Amino acid sequence: MRALPLLAVLAGALPLAACNTQTANVAAPTAPVVQTSLAAPAALTGEARDKEWMKLAPSAVIDPKIARATIDYPTREAPGTVIVVTKERRLYFVLPDGKAVRYPVAVGHAGMAWAGTAEVDRKGEWPDWNPPPEMLARRPDLPKRLEGGPTSPLGARALYLAENKKDNLFRIHGTNEPEKIGQAVSSGCIRMLNADVVDLYERVPIGSKVVVR
Torsion over CA: 189, 211, 80, 162 (sign)? negative
Residues 6+ away with beta carbon under 8 Å from 10: 143, 146, 151
Is 189 catalytic? The answer is yes
| Residue 109 bears catalytic tag | no
Residues 6+ apart with CB under 8 A from 39: 48, 52
Catalytic residue among 189, 195, 197, 200: 189
Phi, psi of 53 (to 5 degrees): -70, -30
Burial of 138 (0-12, 13-18, 19+ CB in 10 A): exposed
- b/e 50-60 (16+ beta carbons within 10 angstroms → b): bebbbebbbee
In the set 135, 173, 186, 194, the catalytic residue is 173
Alpha helices in the chain (DSSP H): 4-12, 46-56, 133-138, 194-203
- Measured CA to CA, the distance from residue 112 to residue 115 in angstroms comes to 10
121, 199 contact by CB (below 8 A): no
* Catalytic residue set: 173, 189
